[in-house]
Amino acid sequence: MTEQPRPLRGLVFANVAVLFFGLAGVLGKLSLLPAPLIVFGRVFFAGLLLLAICLFQHIPLLPKRRQDGFLLLGLGVLLALHWTAFFQAINVSNVAIGLLSFSSFPLFTAALEPLLLHQRPRQVQIVAALLILPGIYLLVPSFTFQNQTTLGVTWGVLSAATFALLSVANRWLGRTYP
């Protein structure tokens, strides 16, 4: 197989990622299991796979420093919260609402990066993040938690916020664990 040009390769990877994001939502909606049980299954099988990869490639299983272990544990809990909120958004509303509200994560990423990574915010990030707010507002039909769509958007935005925090924390941790 020949090497694909870089832009085409990136586009292929982006489309595969979008397919997996959408497929996770559809499968989550089709599942009759509650969100925490779906997350437990994902964590269990992902943990087994990561353990096998680490053992096969001789990657150390313990962190370099004890405090990193607590941080990694916290990030694992945050990932479980993200997944639970994502699947709960889909369960209480629908796949479209879950994915659209989750897609607000750049808003939170733009807010968290300057705080946690001490990076100067770029103007284009701020403008793009602020454009997300009207989109989320349009998703909410009524501002009452008796409405399933409003509940779905709330869970989806929580999923987005936890994903953004996880993403920024992983970038910070990537300095120690490349």
Please enumerate in sequence order all residues whose Cβ is within 8 A of that of 86, keeping only pairs 6 or more positions apart, or say none.
24, 25, 28, 98, 102, 155, 156, 159
Distance between CA atoms of 80 and 159, rounded to whole angstroms?
Answer: 10
Q: Return the pLDDT at 56.
A: 93
Distance between CA atoms of 174 and 162, rounded to whole angstroms?
Answer: 18
Q: Tabulate helix, strand, coil % of the chain (nearest 5).
A: 75, 0, 25
Q: Return the pLDDT at 178.
A: 62
Tell how far CA 95 is from the center of its chain. Answer: 15
Q: Confirm if 117 and 168 have CB atoms less than 8 A apart.
A: yes
Q: Which amino acid is at 168?
A: V
Q: Return the pLDDT at 164.
A: 94
Distance between CA atoms of 7 and 84, rounded to whole angstroms?
Answer: 34
Q: Return the pLDDT at 172.
A: 83
Q: Return the pLDDT at 3.
A: 62
Q: Confirm if 132 and 106 have CB atoms less than 8 A apart.
A: yes
Which strand (E) or helix (H) includes residue 167?
A: helix 148-173
Q: Return the pLDDT at 30.
A: 64
Distance between CA atoms of 160 and 24, rounded to whole angstroms?
Answer: 15
Q: Return the pLDDT at 89.
A: 92
Q: Which residue has the tokens 């869970």?
A: 155
Per-residue pLDDT tens digits of the chain, which is 178 residues long: 556 567 777 778 777 877 776 676 666 666 777 778 888 888 889 889 989 998 999 888 888 888 888 888 899 899 989 999 998 999 898 888 888 898 888 889 888 888 888 888 788 878 888 888 888 888 887 888 888 889 999 999 999 999 999 999 888 887 776 6
